Amino acid sequence: MKIKFKIFFLYIFFLFASNITHSADEEISEYDYLKFLGESIEKIKTDYVEHVDNKKIVESAINGILSSLDPHSSFLNAKSLNDMKIQTKGEFGGLGIEVTMENGFVKVISPIDNTPAYKAGIKAGDYITHLDKKSVVGLTLDEAVGKMRGPVGSKLKVTIGRTNEEPFDVTIKRDIIKITSVKSRLEKDVGYLRITSFSEQTNKSTKGAIKKLTKNKNLKGFVLDLRNNPGGLLEQAVSVSDLFLEKGEIVSTRGRDSENPETYKAKPGDVINGLPLVVLINGGSASASEIVAGSLQDHKRAIILGTQSFGKGSVQTIIPVNPYGALRMTTARYFTPSGRSIQKKGISPDIIVEEAKVEKIDKRNGSRESDLKGALDNPNKKSDKKKNKENSKKEDVTNDFQLSRALDLVRGISLYKNKLAIN
């Protein structure tokens, strides 16, 4: 074990040393720091009050380096790496919550639709301060996530800090999280697409949903709902954006060598043939979902409606360190086609619509001409009755205010375009 530990440490040593490209004096200084790291580890092994496993020491050291750089970089041991692979395939165990670290606490990016966390009322922007009454302060993000996972059916008490509210506890039962990344339905005459995350099958599922919805010949347009979508795979975000674009840049990524960005471009072919498109976003829309919204906004292909998005504009690369796990490291920032970085800023919607409750008012006050005694009949009474009946069928009744506004906007754009075509 000792020999193995030394070999592993030497590997990490040379991993860092291989990136040294400074002058001779600076090089000596960096080697001195590496020597200091090695000596510190040896002191921990020999002098710490309790025996510490070599593997734990090295993993913690690497994770400490990475997590100090930014909230999204970390070391993934073999188990964590496997869990991540399972998650991107769309099925994993846990609470169903996407999180990050902020000010020492776990911050909720968004709950995943129809998961235990979602059903328990966890919201984007909530802070998790304690897990089973134990503070999360001092934990890495992966350690916190590890504590939130556990046997299916087991319960976890989560302490929530929410703006303008006293901290409160929520008990959540763990479950197998099966993510259907794309949901779709017909809202009368508008196609509704809900993408909950960007996993391996997202683009394929989105294309299939669109193909099914476009069979309706009276379709006015589409609403693409990216609210509380925490992101996922970059290539899937690019592919979904490409579905609605004919040409041009979708997104670019710039690493340390910012002079040579990697650019992703659209291929010809808009799968909805130019129909009106409204994209819904909110504070839980992050990373890959911001790429989609930003690309469609810059190309003026869609109207973005809702509230400011999360603002995660960085790209993480998984670098295997076999057989120990992998480095999850921030390697680039991404930029929208117009050159915008949304890091710590987010996507600003074209139309700001806050979340609100919708109530239908059944009673109307006052009277109309038709209520007056002796009022003349309308000569088009029969045809008007027919039209009114048709219009009542098209009326969308939903408690989702943002979605209601989006549906009305799609119909309004369609009506306007049709009037222009007639004139």
Q: Which residues pair with 158 in a beta bridge?
A: 131, 170
User: What pLDDT was estimated at residue 339?
Assistant: 96
CA 294 from centre of chain: 13
- Please name every residue paired with 249 in a beta bridge, in sequence order, or none if there are none: 265
Rounding to the nearest 10 degrees, give the CA dihedral for residues 134, 136, 138, 143. 100
Through-space distance between the first and last CA atoms of the chain, rounded to whole angstroms: 82
Q: What is the DSSP letter of 411?
A: H
For residue 381, what pLDDT is reported?
Answer: 65
Task: Say yes or no: domain 182-352 is CATH 3.40.228.10.
Answer: no
**Ordered per-residue pLDDT tens for the chain, 423 residues:** 444 444 444 445 444 444 545 555 555 677 788 888 888 888 998 999 999 988 888 888 888 899 899 999 999 988 888 777 766 665 566 898 888 888 888 999 888 888 999 999 999 999 999 999 999 998 888 889 888 988 888 999 999 999 899 999 999 999 987 777 899 999 999 999 999 999 888 999 999 999 999 999 999 999 999 999 999 999 999 999 999 999 999 999 999 887 889 999 999 999 999 999 999 999 999 999 999 999 999 999 999 999 999 999 999 999 998 888 899 999 999 999 999 999 999 999 999 999 887 676 665 566 777 777 777 887 876 655 555 544 444 444 468 999 999 999 999 999 988 877 776
Gap between the Cα atoms of 358 and 241, Å rounded? 31
DSSP letters for 138-203: T--HHHHHHHH--STT-EEEEEEE-TTS--EEEEEE-EEEE---EEEEEETTEEEEEE--B-TTHH
Backbone angles phi, psi at 303, to 5 degrees: -95, 130
Judging by beta carbons within 10 Å of its beta carbon (0-12, 13-18, 19+), is residue 301 exposed, middle or buried? buried
Sole residue written with tokens 């692979």 = 85
Pairing type for strands 277-281 and 303-306 reads: parallel
By CB neighbour count within 10 A (0-12 exposed, 13-18 middle, 19+ buried), where does 60 fall? middle
What's the CA gap between 323 and 78, in Å, rounded?
A: 7
**Coil vs helix vs strand at 149:** coil
Query: What is the Rg, in whole angstroms, of the alpha carbon atoms belonging to the chain?
Result: 27
Type of residue found at 108: V
Pairing of strands 351-352, 325-335: unpaired
Q: Measuring CA to CA, which residue among 187, 128, 184 is closest to residue 156?
A: 128
- Among 2.30.42.10, 2.60.90.10, 1.10.3720.10, 3.20.20.70, name the CATH number for the domain at 91-178: 2.30.42.10
Would you state the pLDDT for residue 260?
A: 85
Which residue in 87, 86, 91, 82 sits closest to 99, CA to CA? 87
CA distance 11 to 333: 28
For CA atoms 282, 131, 344, 69, the dihedral sign is negative
Q: Which residues are catalytic, by number?
A: 287, 298, 312
